[in-house]
């Protein structure tokens, strides 16, 4: 296993500017979960000038809708969902101070440009490894939009949560580089 | 004329169907098939990229956690797609077949702590909170048995699926181009390594159905038609030459298998549908 960079949110511009596409990272501390329906509501709140359920500054959003926790465990399977669906809502969140997003799959050119502008990075977690990734989650609490069920916003605490930098501040994209290397 | 003979039909109680569907929902989500695990082990031997190998190892470790601890392998526990092969001489008693299946989904997703991922209307998008309704495909077959296959289908790979009404002149090369392009455009989004289901021929909806049905074939079993089996192998090679690799980080293994199901088609057309499945090619079956 390659050595990884340890990150603990909130992240500063310096933390972000040190990261490069392809870097392995592990996160310990707080993440906020949000996916399609929660993003829609967050952006509606922002457009009305209302307060969000959590302060975006320096934070990381994890695109996940976990399975319900069995009795005695913190959370069910909790792997990343596909990120492009959040692209239509991402730019206002970046403008609001969001520093990182964890998901899987490609981002739009507009979102990549906005990440450079607002100094934020995009991480991928291991898609399809929901049972394994749940082991890194030590606490989970619904903090908003409970009516959305699996799409509610959760504040989760993670320990050594593994991810990889896909898009950095310098225009690099791990997905594009990987394909170039192995295409025949 | 002789009076109609009395035919004794075999009876199956709807409650049995409910119980079995509930069990299959859980098994499919906890227990990745041995055929898929074997394909992942073979992929690990072929893979050259170090991150690709690492990911294949993690996916196998994930499957082991899911199986032994009876937790879902993926948080997306899917749209419950149910294939039925209903024997024409079987009589379902004690309830409505569709409702028996939906009740099984309800129970299985509740008892298995599976995620409820269905919204009741495409626009209003309010969660139905029990993962119903199922999508049910029924084929009436000879005999007096009922075969049920539950195949929970994840949204990430479903969203990357495609269909084209090609021209007869496009031929086999046109089909190959479309299938490979579909996988290329899906890239990292559909959680490769993929199982690629291809529905070839039929009508618009028949092609889509066949592409889904192709996903429940056991990995390692080729199409029985030698020409189509050859095409499956050619497509697999071309797809793996795309370089997308495990989870799209670059590598040799983009797909574990390509399965083609075909049907006769109209003189004007050449429909082709591509239904993508992530590495969690989940399906469990029972014959009652």
Which regions in chain A score pLDDT beneath 70?
1-2
**Nearest residue to B188 via CA among A3, A123, A76, A157:** A123
Confidence (pTM): 0.95
What is the per-residue pLDDT across A52-91, written as a single tens digit (0 to 9) for each? 999 999 999 999 999 999 999 999 999 999 999 999 999 9
- Of all residues in chain B, the percent with pLDDT exceeding 90 is 97
- What is the rounded CA–CA span in Å between residue B143 and residue B10? 10
> What mean pLDDT comes out for the span B254-261?
98
**Per-residue pLDDT, A1:** 46
Of residues A35, A39, A104, A112, which has the active-site annotation?
Answer: A39
On the question of pLDDT at B207 being above 80, the answer is yes
Chain A contact for B68 (CB, 8 A cutoff): no
Which residues of chain B have a CB within 8 Å of the CB of A182? 48-49, 243-245, 250-252
On the question of pLDDT at B35 being above 70, the answer is yes
In this complex, how many residue pairs, one in chain A and one in chain B, have their CB atoms less than 8 Å apart? 166
Instruction: Mark whether A136 is an active-site residue.
Output: no
What is the per-residue pLDDT across B148-169, written as a single tens digit (0 to 9) for each? 999 999 999 999 999 999 999 9
Domain ranges for chain A: 5-183
Chain A contact for B75 (CB, 8 A cutoff): yes
**Per-residue pLDDT, A92:** 97
On the question of pLDDT at B183 being above 70, the answer is yes
Stretch among A93-102, B4-13, B108-117, B249-258 having the lowest mean pLDDT? B4-13
Closest approach of B88 to chain A, Cα-based (Å): 38
- In B, minimum Cα distance to A24 occurs at B51
CATH of domain A5-183: 3.20.130.10
**Per-residue pLDDT, A2:** 60
B250/A70 CB distance under 8 A: no
ipTM, two decimals, is: 0.94
The distance of Cα B65 from the centroid of its chain, to the nearest Å, equals 22
**Per-residue pLDDT, B8:** 73
On the question of pLDDT at B1 being above 60, the answer is no
Please work out, in degrees rounded to the nearest 5, the angle formed at the alpha carbon of residue B202 by the alpha carbons of B197 and B207: 30
What is the per-residue pLDDT across B104-131, written as a single tens digit (0 to 9) for each? 999 999 999 999 999 999 999 999 999 9
- Cβ neighbors of B170 (< 8 A, separation 6 or more) are B270
CATH of domain B156-280: 3.30.1330
> What mean pLDDT comes out for the span B273-278?
98
- What is the rounded CA–CA span in Å between residue B116 and residue B128? 8
> What mean pLDDT comes out for the span B190-202?
98
Domain ranges for chain B: 10-29+73-153, 156-280
- What is the rounded CA–CA span in Å between residue B142 and residue B87? 5
Which among B49, B71, B251 has CB closest to A70? B71
Which among B66, B77, B159 has CB closest to A82? B159
* In A15-104, beta strands by DSSP E: 24-33, 60-62, 100-103
């Amino acid at each position: 296993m390659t050595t990884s960079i340890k990150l603990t949110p909130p992240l500063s511009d310096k933390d972000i500017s040190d990261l490069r596409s392809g870097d392995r990272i592990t996160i310990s501390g707080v993440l906020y979960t949000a996916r399609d329906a929660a993003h829609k509501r967050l952006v509606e709140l922002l457009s009305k000038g209302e307060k969000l359920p959590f302060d975006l500054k320096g934070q990381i959003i994890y695109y996940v809708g976990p399975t319900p926790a069995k009795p005695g465990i913190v959370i069910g399977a909790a792997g990343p969902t596909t990120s492009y669906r959040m692209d239509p809502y991402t730019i206002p969140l970046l403008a609001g101070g969001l520093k990182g997003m964890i998901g899987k799959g490609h981002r739009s050119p507009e979102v990549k440009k906005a990440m450079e502008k607002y100094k934020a990075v995009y991480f991928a977690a291991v898609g399809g490894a929901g049972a394994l990734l749940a082991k890194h989650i030590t606490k989970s609490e619904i903090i908003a939009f409970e009516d959305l069920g699996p799409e509610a916003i959760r504040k989760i605490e993670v320990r050594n949560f593994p991810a990889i930098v896909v898009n950095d501040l310098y225009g690099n994209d791990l997905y594009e580089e990987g394909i170039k290397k192995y295409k025949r | 004329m002789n009076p109609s003979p009395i035919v004794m039909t075999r009876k199956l109680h709807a409650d049995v169907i409910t119980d079995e569907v509930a069990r299959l929902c859980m098994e499919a989500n906890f227990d990745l098939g041995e055929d898929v695990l074997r394909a992942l082990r073979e992929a690990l031997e072929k893979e050259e990229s170090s991150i690709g190998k690492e990911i294949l190892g993690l996916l196998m470790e994930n499957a082991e956690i899911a199986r032994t601890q009876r937790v879902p392998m993926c948080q997306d526990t899917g749209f419950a797609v149910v294939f039925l092969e209903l024997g024409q001489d079987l009589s379902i008693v004690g309830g409505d077949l569709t409702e028996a299946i939906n009740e099984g989904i309800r129970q299985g997703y509740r008892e298995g702590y599976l995620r409820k991922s269905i919204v009741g209307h495409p626009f209003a998008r309010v969660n139905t909170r029990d993962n119903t309704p199922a999508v049910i495909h029924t084929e009436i077959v000879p005999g007096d048995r009922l075969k049920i296959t539950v195949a929970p289908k994840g949204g990430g790979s479903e969203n990357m699926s495609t269909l084209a009404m090609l021209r007869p002149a496009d031929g086999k090369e046109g089909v190959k181009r479309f299938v490979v392009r579909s996988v290329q455009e899906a890239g990292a989004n559909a959680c490769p390594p993929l199982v690629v289901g291809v529905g070839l021929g039929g009508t618009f909806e028949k092609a889509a159905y066949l592409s889904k049905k192709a996903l429940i074939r056991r990995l390692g079993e080729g199409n029985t038609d030698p020409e189509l089996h050859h095409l499956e192998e050619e497509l697999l090679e071309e797809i793996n030459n795309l370089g997308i690799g495990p989870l799209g980080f670059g590598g040799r293994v983009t797909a574990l298998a390509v399965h083609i199901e075909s049907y006769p088609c109209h003189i004007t057309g050449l429909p082709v549908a591509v239904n993508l499945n992530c590495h969690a090619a989940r399906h469990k079956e029972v014959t009652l």
